């Protein structure tokens, strides 16, 4: 089974090498690695060049943001399954993709798998939050639960059937996709009980108060768009649930 992994980058040389290395060093052999660059002017392109032997597809051109770049990667992907690893993040160990492939092989009927994630400090990789997932269904989604998006691996045919990432919802585009796939279309997803990704903190949605408010507004729009009952209550539960991750 071929698994496509997409990394989107724009002037992210600081941690890009660690991200790429975590994929290149995977024990699973059938990985199609795709890098979509937004026209970086720092040292990102030089780093990518040193790993060109492992990169199947690479483009560098202006885009309309993170999710537009991801959509470009999805269009290029030829794997049965697609995952996304942002340039600041790392696969937790060298066997992650082997376990992903094994889970899909065990049950050909499933559409997606997801697992656990750690938020880490950018400098020293100290763990700040532990995102422990669970086996869940659309009822859990309707109550504000969601899987960790960086751990989500989805069959490509689902993107063709249910659409790509929306470009009008800012940082809530991944939440919208999860609502659309899990709640609206009843995605058959299986929880893989292992740490899959170490994710560095400092995302766009949390940079300042204005960004935080914009993220909340877009989350609400995503809930309304996908006809989730009681969207304000769901939004409240979604935010409150994150407190548990610090414990």
Average pLDDT over residues 173-193: 97
Angle value at C-alpha 150, between 165 and 27, nearest 5 degrees: 125
% pLDDT > 90, the chain: 87
Q: Cβ contacts of residue 55 below 8 Å, gap of 6+?
A: 33, 34, 35, 48
φ and ψ at 6, to 5 degrees?
-110, 130
Q: How many other β-carbons are positioned within 10 Å of the β-carbon of residue 224?
A: 11
* pTM, rounded to two decimals: 0.94
Give per-residue pLDDT as tens, 8-42.
999 999 999 999 999 999 999 999 999 999 999 99
Domain architecture of the chain: domains with CATH: 3-246 (3.90.550.10)
Task: Report the alpha-carbon distance of residue 146 to residue 189 in Å, rounded.
Answer: 12
pLDDT at position 205 is: 47
Give per-residue pLDDT as tens, 72-123.
999 999 999 999 999 999 999 999 999 999 999 999 999 999 999 999 999 8
Dmax over Cα atoms in the chain, in whole Å? 50
Given a cut of 70, whether residue 208 has pLDDT beyond it is: no
Task: Report the alpha-carbon distance of residue 62 to residue 129 in Å, rounded.
Answer: 33
Give per-residue pLDDT as tens, 151-176.
999 999 999 999 999 999 999 999 99
- Cβ atoms of 156 and 77 within 8 Å: the answer is yes
pLDDT at position 231 is: 92
Task: Report the alpha-carbon distance of residue 222 to residue 173 in Å, rounded.
Answer: 8
């Amino acid at each position: 089974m071929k698994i496509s992994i997409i990394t989107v980058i724009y002037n992210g040389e600081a941690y890009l090498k660690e991200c790429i290395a975590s994929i290149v060093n995977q024990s699973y052999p059938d990985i199609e690695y795709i890098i979509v660059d937004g026209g970086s002017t720092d040292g990102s392109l030089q780093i990518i060049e040193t790993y060109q032997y492992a990169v199947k597809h690479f483009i560098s051109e202006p885009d309309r943001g993170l999710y537009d770049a991801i959509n470009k990667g999805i269009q290029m992907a030829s794997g049965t399954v697609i995952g996304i690893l942002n340039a600041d993040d790392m696969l937790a160990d060298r066997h992650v993709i082997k376990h992903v492939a094994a889970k899909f092989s065990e049950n050909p009927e499933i559409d997606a798998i997801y697992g656990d994630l750690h938020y880490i400090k950018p400098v020293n990789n100290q763990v700040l939050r532990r995102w422990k997932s669970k086996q869940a269904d659309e009822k859990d989604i309707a109550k504000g639960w969601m899987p960790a998006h960086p751990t989500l691996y989805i069959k490509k045919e689902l993107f063709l059937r249910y659409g790509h990432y929306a470009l009008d919802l800012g940082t809530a585009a991944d939440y919208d996709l999860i609502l659309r796939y899990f709640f609206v279309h009843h995605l058959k997803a299986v929880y893989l009980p292992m740490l899959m990704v170490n994710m560095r903190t400092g995302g766009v949605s949390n940079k300042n108060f204005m960004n935080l408010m914009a993220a909340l507004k877009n989350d609400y729009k995503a809930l309304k768009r996908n006809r989730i009952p009681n969207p304000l209550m769901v939004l409240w539960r979604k935010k409150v649930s994150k407190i548990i991750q610090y414990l």
